[in-house]
Amino acid sequence: MKHVLEIESLTVTFRTENGEVTPVEDVGFAVQPGEIVCIVGESGSGKSVTSLAILNLLGRSGRIGQGQIRLDGRSLTELTEAELRKARGKEAAMIFQEPMTALNPVLTIGDQLREAIRLHVGLRGKAANDYAAGLLRDAGIARPESVLKQYPHALSGGMRQRVVIAMAIAGKPKLLIADEPTTALDVTVQAQILALLKRLRAQHDTAILLITHDLGVVAEMADRVLVMYAGQIVEETDVFSLFERPLHPYTKGLMAAVPAIADELEHRLEAIPGSVPDLARLPAGCRFHPRCPAATDRCRSETPPLTQSGSGHLVRCWLTGHNPAS
């Protein structure tokens, strides 16, 4: 099957006051049409940077050091800036945690949606307005005509995120990239937005790359999951295997940090001790070793590769990756 997105050995570097750092190192994965892939990890794991690299939104200090990104078979690095602008919204569109980053506070929702429609669909005037109303309806907004006349500040956070999603789907992109799209919303609205994303996937076969730190969101949404730690993928598998048989000690730690609903009241959150390492001073060997309860001498000096452990299950750990029986 043709992939919507293919990333091969992607490395991203950033210039900082303390020299160059590498928030993403040798990351590779693919997303198929209609598939929901979640990237999960703590903040600082490189999941957001990976998602920004896809549409070349790294800003001035960041750059793709090496690797390949192909959107619908076309290499991103071969696109001109103009082609890239077209690809944003048409082939892939991005949704951020805070909807106001995508909305202009001084323009009405209608103005902004019609502009996106002019750009990606080529419609103007009444046709653009009707199309805009249709998009808002698709995004679950019951009275689109009144919302079109409003300014972003007049809407609730959940409504703003629906508007952003409507704008993102204007060009019927094959891939939606959503970075913590529900983190700023309350639980009920969060569930509605996740349901909306699932419905869009079902209706249009839109692939979704969903960045989250929330394993509840992963369980609800993902077909496949990438776990990132300190700039690297440490585990990749389908969502069932991830919850049934997590292999990487970091993944196990994340799982343990989530209370099972049934014993929620009896069990305290068991967070993983320590924190994500400073990118400017990454530990030698396995990057997780300072926090890993299973670390050995080898882990402190040799970097484990990402290896197969069972069909489609990849893990970066000396213990599990090379000895699935253990």
Contacts 24+ apart (CB under 8 A), 73-80: 73/2, 73/3
Q: Which is closer to ligand SF4, CB of 188 or CB of 326?
A: 326
User: Minimum Å distance from CB 318 to ligand SF4?
Assistant: 4
- Find the binding residues for ligand SF4 in span 229-258 (CB under 6 A): 248-249
Residue 295 interacts, among ligand SF4, Mg ion, none and using kind-specific CB cut-offs from 5 to 8 Å, with ligand SF4
Q: Which does 291 bind (CB under 5 to 8 A by kind): Mg ion, ligand SF4, none?
A: none
Cα distances from 189 to residues 102, 143, 159, 208, 218, in angstroms, run 19, 17, 9, 19, 17
Q: Which of 179, 304, 313, 314 binds ligand SF4 (CB under 6 A)?
A: 304
Residue 276 lies near ligand SF4 (rule: CB under 6 A): no
Give the shortest CB-283-to-ligand SF4 separation in angstroms.
9
Q: How far is the CB of 286 from ligand SF4 (least distance, A)?
A: 3
Residues 6+ apart with CB under 8 A from 207: 4, 5, 31, 32, 33, 34, 35, 36, 37, 174, 175, 176, 201
C-alpha closest to that of 221 among 173, 178, 157: 178
Which does residue 299 touch among Mg ion, ligand SF4, none (CB within 5 to 8 A, set by kind)?
ligand SF4
SS3 of residue 163 by DSSP = helix
Give yes or no for residue 294 binding ligand SF4 (CB under 6 A): yes
Binds 313, which of ligand SF4, Mg ion, none (CB < 5 to 8 A, cut-off by type)? none
3-state secondary structure of 77: helix
In the chain, the N- to C-terminal Cα span, in Å, equals 34
Query: Does residue number 295 form part of the binding site for ligand SF4 (CB under 6 A)?
Result: yes
Least CB distance from residue 179 to Mg ion, whole Å? 6
Nearest to 212 by CA among 226, 231, 193, 198: 226
Cα distances from 47 to residues 57, 76, 262, 263, 309, in angstroms, run 14, 19, 30, 30, 23
CA distance 209 to 218: 11
Rounded Cα distance, 223 and 152, in Å: 33
Residues that bind Mg ion (CB under 5 A): 48
Indicate which of ligand SF4, Mg ion, none lies near residue 48 (CB less than 5 to 8 Å, by partner kind): Mg ion
- Residue 288 touches which of Mg ion, ligand SF4, none (Cβ within 5-8 Å per kind): ligand SF4
**Dihedral, CA atoms, 173, 66, 291, 179, nearest 10 degrees?**
-20
Residue closest to Mg ion (Cβ): 48
Closer residue to ligand SF4 (CB): 134 or 274: 274
Tell me whether residue 47 or residue 289 sits nearer to ligand SF4 (CB atom).
Answer: 289
Task: Label residue 266 exposed, middle or buried (CB < 10 Å: 0-12, 13-18, 19+).
Answer: exposed
Task: Give the nearest distance from C-beta 123 to ligand SF4 in angstroms.
Answer: 52
163 or 319: whose CB is closer to ligand SF4?
319
Between residues 46 and 246, which has the closer beta carbon with respect to Mg ion? 46
State which of residues 177, 279, 292, 314 lies at the interface with ligand SF4 (CB under 6 A).
Answer: 292
Distances (CA, A) of 281 to 19, 49, 129, 218, 287: 11, 18, 52, 30, 10
Q: Which residues in this chain contact ligand SF4 in the complex, by CB under 6 A?
A: 248-249, 286, 288-289, 292, 294-295, 299, 304, 317-319
